[in-house]
Structure 1
Amino acid sequence: MPSTPIDTHFDLALVSPFLLQTLAEVLSDKGVNSERLCLGLGFTVEELQDPAQRISYRQAVSMIQRALAALPERGLGLWVGHHNVLGTLGLLGHVLSLCRTLRDAFEIGRRFQHTTGSMAVCNLLEGPEESFVEVECRLPYADVQVFAVEEFFASLLVYNRTLIGTGFQPLRFEFTHTAPSYEAEYVRLLGPNLHFGCLHNRMVIASHWLDLQLPSHHPVALRQALKLLESECAQVQQRMGLLETVERAIARDLPYGSHIDKVASDLNMSSRTLRRRLSEHDMTFDALQEQVRRARAMSLLGNPEMPIERIAEALGYSDVRGFRRAFKRWTGLSPSGFRDEVPASAD
């Protein structure tokens, strides 16, 4: 697949090593030399054991793609997620275990998700009967997007069962990509209620789970641990918080078109102030909007059954020609040409 440049903030060394640490362990268990996966990336496997270590998304993408090339079409993201335990999250895992309800744990997890090294961002959408944990990877690589979604849902299932018991079971999982050749691994690790080729990546749960009180809830210990976590993450949050918040707002309004005035208003600031703050991170609103659209387009193009016209509409384009022109500018390929290249990315 053609190389696609990553936006400026993906070069910032802000990502904790949790995910790559587990990835190295899984690869080693499968007989792959994990040291070779790190060659030339600026860190060693031993350095991934240091919770203070920070790496860039660019470095993380390189290691993940090397791992996928070493074990293609096997369900590597599922394996990594299933291999995680709550303690893998460090202090965040401890805080989650002390929360009052699963809803509170979801909110804390969403607030501090950047500390886990995840390649994806998530959101909880509550409904009266069903609620949705929606996740999206906005890195512009189709293979990494699938890996990130697999890892997120497999690990989320492990964490939830740790928090509230092995009886926890989602109603279903929904994925934007088409069913892979290793679908049996999805069934084995996530369960049989799977839907592929959807508009969103979601874990659907019965809403009553959100109000269940966690057995290890301790309000005093929670306040103390949360204060430590906030202090530990303050610097990273300051640098990444604005970009993630704006990206989330753009993604929310994507089908309808996102305007900087509305996003700025949602953040209680003027559009001029928002432009200035984004420029401090060498970023513009238009660049962020293109980034969200590009990543979403690549995710949806992974499903060969979804018409190009429907994808253009989901991205907020008034006609398919505008989408084709934009996608050609991003990747050098037409949407259909990119779609033809996707299966080759696992070879």
Structure 2
Amino acid sequence: MGLRNWSGVVEEDNAYMFEWDLVRTTSGVHVVTRLAEERGMPAGECLAGSGLPVGAAREQYSEVTARQELTVIRNLLARFGDQAGLGLEAGVRHHFSLHGPWGVALLASRTLRDAVQVALRYVELAFAFGELSFEETQGEGRLRFDDREVPEDVRAFLTERVMAGVQIIGRELYSVGVPVLRVDFRHGAPVDIARYRTVFGVEPTFDAPGNELVFDASHLDAVLPQANEWARSTCEQMCRDLLARRRTRSGVAGSVRDLLVRNPGVLPDQSAIAAELYVSPRTLSRRLNEEGTSFRALLDEVRQALSEELLDRTDMTTEQVAARLGYAEAASFIRAFRRWQGCPPQEYRARGRMPALV
């Protein structure tokens, strides 16, 4: 079965939103501060305003928020933003060893196709600050990075970091790497593109409609040299547990999430939740915004968790699950589920019911 288009155009109430207060490891901060120190900028200056101690620059497996990491990146760019390919330099340092169970799950996947699915399913544990999606079409594999949720002042850096990081991970999956057919960037070309040719093996296209890395799809089903089903499944479970812990909510967001899951038969709308909390819908929106989230993002979280529970533990059809989650039509649910899990609901259910490999 070929990979489906996992980007898709989703309806407004299912739009992708990056959560800047989601907890992640300090691996990105570690890389950025190393880049700064190599250029003569002390770690303390690079961490200024982030609320992080200098020790965070030395530790790879502590936790920070994406918002804190963004502050560190902005400090780096304030001093060295005119250096071409700085995002590439960060990206090529994002090896498997920086990403704990997420990296091991990729490395232990059976094929590149499986690795792509795992990568996108738990991408919040990695180094992307936007939406990654994948499409297989006309004999090509196309990895896309949607940077529209990324602030403009750091957009080029973070896009280059993701695309270069993907290329490095591809080389570590295969000892010889996966040759890139072409790579596109939405931002403009720097004065010197020599480093880009070195990293990708091709000359990138700049000012493109989107950010895209394209390779020959024939590589998708080749068996990876370190495939290990036990290691992959174990690390995937660790990834699920990590995401669950990091998504635990407190404050107003926690109250909203509790109300959303309280009644297993219906998901209340924002007005109903606001009434339960004795505030107006506008006040609820403002308070959630102050906590770095929104009603839409919380509803998306709950729908994802409930969809997995219903598919894993019941025999409900896709249409029944969609209706249970408040979708007007199954197609909307299927698009959202592909965004969450990297595959449609039926494939997710079939994979979960397959006997374990030994």
Equivalent positions of 1:121-136 (< 5 A) are 121-136=131-146
CA distance in 1, matches of 2:151, 2:18: 16
Aligned mates of 1:167, 1:39 — CA distance in 2: 38
C-alpha separation between the residues in 2 aligned to 1:8 and 1:226? 22
> CA–CA distance in 2 between the matches of 1:48 and 1:123?
30
Q: In structure 1, what is the equivalent of residue 233 of structure 2?
A: 223
Counterpart contact for 2:22–2:246, Cα < 8 Å: no
Give the structure 2 partner of residue 82 of structure 1: 92
- Larger mean Cα displacement after TM superposition, 196-205 or 162-171: 162-171
CA contact (8 A) 1:17 1:116 kept: no
Structure 2 CA distance for partners of 1:232 and 1:15, relative to 1, 3 Å: closer
User: Which structure has the greater CA radius of gyration?
Assistant: 2
Whether 2:283 is the aligned partner of 1:283: answer no
The CA distance in 2 between the partners of 1:21 and 1:38, in whole Å, is 10
Corresponding residue number in structure 2 for 1:168: 178
Is residue 86–residue 157 contact of structure 2 (8 Å, CA) maintained in 1?
Answer: yes
Match of 2:66 in 1: 57
Q: Of residues 38, 41, 66 in structure 2, which corresponds to 1:32? A: 41
Contact (CA 8 Å) 1:96, 1:108: kept in 2 or not?
Answer: yes
User: How far apart are the structure 1 equivalents of 2:128 and 2:53?
Assistant: 19
Give, in angstroms, the shift of residue 153 of structure 1. 0.9
Cα distance in 2 between the residues matched to 1:59 and 1:220: 35
Q: Is the Cα–Cα contact under 8 Å of residues 45 and 75 in structure 2 kept in the other structure? A: no
Aligned-pair CA distance for 1:120: 2.8
Q: Distance in 2 between matches of 1:124 and 1:95?
A: 18
Q: Determine the structure 2 residue equivalent to 1:158.
A: 168
Show the counterpart of 1:181.
191
User: Hey, what does 1:272 align to over in structure 2?
Assistant: 269
Q: Match of 1:39, as an amino acid?
A: A
Identity of aligned residues (%): 23
CA positional deviation for 1:174? 0.8
Q: Give secondary structure in 2 for the equivalent of 1:203.
A: strand
Separation (CA, whole Å) in 2 of partners of 1:41 and 1:127? 42
Hey, what's the Cα distance between the residues in 2 that align with 1:81 and 1:149? 9
Counterpart-to-counterpart distance in 2, 1:137 and 1:210: 25
User: Could you say what secondary structure the match of 1:55 adopts?
Assistant: strand
Count how many residue pairs are aligned between Structure 1 and Structure 2: 254
**What is the TM-score when the length of structure 1 is the normalising length?**
0.65
Q: In the alignment, what sits opposite 1:18?
A: 27
| Structural mapping, 1:257-268, within 5 Å | none
Cα distance change, pair 275–14 in 1 and its aligned pair in 2 (3 A): farther
C-alpha distance in structure 2 between counterparts of 1:233 and 1:140, whole Å: 21
Matched letter for residue 269 of structure 2: R
Per residue, is there more helix in 1 or in 2?
A: 1
Q: CA deviation at 1:94?
A: 1.1
Aligned to 1:114: 124
Q: CA deviation at 1:157?
A: 0.7
* CA shift in 2, pair 1:189/1:206, >3 Å: same
**Cα distance change of structure 1 residues 117 and 170 upon mapping to structure 2, 3 Å threshold:** closer
Asked if 2 retains the 8 angstrom alpha-carbon contact of 1:275 and 1:284, the reply is: no
Written as runs of structure 1 = structure 2, the 5 A alignment for 1:216-255 is 216-237=226-247
Tell me if the contact between 1:133 and 1:204 (Cα under 8 Å) persists in the aligned partners: yes
Please, which moves more after superposition, 69-78 or 55-64?
Answer: 55-64
State the match for 1:300 in structure 2: none
Greater shift, 136-145 or 73-82, is seen at 136-145
State how far apart, in whole Å, the 2-side matches of 1:60 and 1:197 are: 27
2:209 is the counterpart of 1:199: yes
8 Å CA contact retained: 1:174, 1:195: yes
